[in-house]
Amino acid sequence: MRRILNTVSAEVERELEPTGLTNAQWVPLLKLYMGSASTVAELSRACSIDNGGMTRLLDRLETKGLVRRTRSSEDRRVVNLELTDEGRAAAQGIPAILCGVQNAHMRGFSVEEWTTLKSLLRRILDNASAIQAEREEGKTQ
């Protein structure tokens, strides 16, 4: 699975090269575009990146003119995020690139095979989530 992820990531990065976005940068950009997060803390959680790493990543995206940070007027500790017009334009093209890379990697799979693969991967993910929940529950007892 790691080899598959590595080759898919490399292909996505190659396809995104003309946009100047790296693998590390397109994920938070897309999450902001899709409305999955609107603050630094939410985006950190959504991307599984610590706050310090997210701050450095946002520094680069802000330097590229893709993201804007503003302090919340209700709580100065909260930093809100928004895409600039350039950021929205860059993010709009990401789903098509991801779809193209995925389709290329799924070449030759029937719809039934694709459905079965998704089901099997979902079961592995569900098992992993259950294991993690059991560990967390054990820590609190």
Q: Which of 53, 39, 44 is nearest to 82 (CA)?
A: 39
Where along the chain do its domains lie? 2-107, 109-141
Each residue of 29-45: pLDDT tens digit? Answer: 999 999 999 988 899 99
Is the domain covering 2-107 a CATH 1.10.10.10 domain?
A: yes
Residue 137 pLDDT class (50, 70, 90 cuts):
confident
Q: Give yes or no for residue 140 having a pLDDT over 80.
A: no
Q: Which of 21, 59, 26, 58 is nearest to 42 (CA)?
A: 58
Q: Give yes or no for residue 141 having a pLDDT over 70.
A: no
**Overall average pLDDT of the 119-123 stretch:** 97
Backbone conformation region of residue 81, classed left if phi is above 0, alpha if psi is from -120 to 50, else beta = beta
Full DSSP string of 63-94:
HTTSEEEEE-SS-TT-EEEEE-HHHHHHHHTH
- Give the 3-state secondary structure of residue 67: strand
Mean pLDDT in the chain? 93
Residue 2 pLDDT class (50, 70, 90 cuts):
very high
Query: pTM of the full predicted structure?
Result: 0.80
For residues 122 and 126, give the distance between their C-alpha atoms in angstroms, rounded to a whole number: 6
Each residue of 68-104: pLDDT tens digit? Answer: 998 888 888 888 899 999 999 999 999 999 999 999 9
Confirm if 29 and 89 have CB atoms less than 8 A apart: no
Q: What is the pLDDT of residue 45?
A: 92
- For the chain, the residue count is 141
